[in-house]
Amino acid sequence: MIARPLAGRGQALLVLAFLAPALLLLALFVVAPAVSAVLFSFTDLALRGPGALAPKIVGLGNYTRLFGDQSFVDAFGRSVSFVFFSAIIGQFVLGLVAALLLARKGIVGKGLFGAAILMPLVVPETVAALAWASMYAPDARGTLNLLVGLVGQEPVAWLVANPMLAIIIVNIWRGVAFAMILFAAALEGVPREVVEAAMVDGASAWQQLTRITLPLIKHAIVLYMLLTTIGTFTVFGLIYFLTRGGPGGGTTVMSVFIYERAFHFAEIGLGSAASVIMLGIVLAIGLFYVRALRAQI
């Protein structure tokens, strides 16, 4: 009778010992910075000037200033557009199409096709940004300008003419692989006999997709939306390395706005307030999708 509680306690201590390094890293690099950002957001902390020597509590002053700042409102709007068109539309549609093609029998070169889509996923973000910067180069030596030059067109400054479209395309290229992997795994769980019964009943390919396949993988779709929406909303390196938020702030999303306010303009308090707002948005998105996911299970 005594050995069982002791054994249970020892098991719990063993589990805690294995989790301790991960919990410590989580506390140091996630929880502590988040708490610090919340505290700093109520001050005028700065990297130079009076706010650096003796920061003062300003209450909700930073938040009031942000909501009255048109550049912050514009950055939020760009973030929403970036997430919607690159993740919710582009990555979702192309990833689903790629997964459906890989699930079909008799497709020639499926291995090569899958490998080509997976390659962007293993390329570091910085390397991907530099590669696309070369492709978008405004002179005649840029990859895209070489292609348009073949049909007699003049070189185009792609990152100036269509900056948001340019970074959306790059992010789609980066994220299709993740969508494809998740959807391909979900499609493996779709009962083949259900699809075959629909085919016998005369269902078209579109009806099979919309009335059978998609409803049966709804849990994977919601999970994908949860992960990719949050991940895309917080993208920084890819955009910053490509455009630095330009031209003229045309690609300044919330993550770039926070970086510029905190480090370029040295306003740590204001940047922290913006990051807290973004954290609240991400948590709200996560809560919405988690509830939707629980409803599917």
Q: Is the pLDDT of residue 295 over 80?
A: no
pLDDT band of 1, cuts 50, 70, 90:
very low
| pLDDT for res 201 | 83
Q: What one-letter code names the amino acid at 80?
A: V
Q: pLDDT tens digit string along 20-32?
A: 999 999 999 989 9
The Cα angle at residue 233 between residues 227 and 237, in degrees rounded to 5: 105
Instruction: Find the mean pLDDT for residues 161-172.
Output: 93
In words, the CATH class of domain 67-296 is mainly alpha
Domain boundaries, the chain: 67-296
Burial class (CB in 10 A: 0-12, 13-18, 19+), 231: middle
pLDDT band of 73, cuts 50, 70, 90:
very high
* Cut 0.85: pTM above it: yes
Q: What is the mean pLDDT of the chain?
A: 88
Spatial distance between the Cα atoms of 187 and 72, rounded to a whole number of angstroms: 41
Lowest-pLDDT choice from 39-48, 140-149, 280-289: 140-149
Looking at the chain, the whole-number percentage of residues with pLDDT higher than 70 is 96
Question: Which H/E stretch holds residue 58?
Answer: none
- Nearest to residue 159, comparing CAs of 90, 256, 81, 250? 250
pLDDT band of 5, cuts 50, 70, 90:
low
Spatial distance between the Cα atoms of 172 and 156, rounded to a whole number of angstroms: 21
Looking at the chain, the whole-number percentage of residues with pLDDT higher than 90 is 46
